[in-house]
A = this chain, B = another copy of it.
Amino acid sequence: MADYRQILVAVDFTPETEQITSRARELARQNGARVALVHVVELEVPSYPADLPLPGELDFSRRLLEQAGVSLKELAITHGLGEAKRYVESGSAKRVIVQLAEDTGADLIVLGSHGRHGLQRLLGDTAIGVLHRAPCDVLAVRIVQQ
């Protein structure tokens, strides 16, 4: 069976992102694979004419996306993944991740598998949603609570 060639890593900037990114980098090293990083802001950001002043909510959403872009770049550099493609998208995390896996020809998606309560549960649901729809293998990294 062929090695993995293209790994898509979904990160959410929770403290566990370090574990997930480390695991993905290790797999990429073992397989000689390329890596792409994606963060999904789970807000819809509608298009808006550039020459009008932004409503507060829209401005907030855009700033979230910009900040995520900065954080994703920092994460990539910290983990020696400066060459990785980076994607910051808005929308439903599971849908965006699956679509991006298709668009980038990923043969492995790496994401966190969180617990059963509250926000942790929500993040776990993303993992399950991706598992249902993914066009490729999915590695759910079990989060070790610090």
Contact = CB atoms under 8 A, between A and B. Distances in A.
Nearest to A127: B131
A3 B26 CA distance: 8
Nearest to A134: B142
Contacts of A1: 19, 22-23, 26
Place the interface of chain A in its size category: 20 to 34
A131 B128 contact: yes
Contacts of A128: 128, 131-132
A23 B136 CA distance: 13
A140 interface: yes
Interface of A: 1, 3, 19, 22-23, 26, 30-31, 113, 116, 124, 127-128, 131-132, 134-142
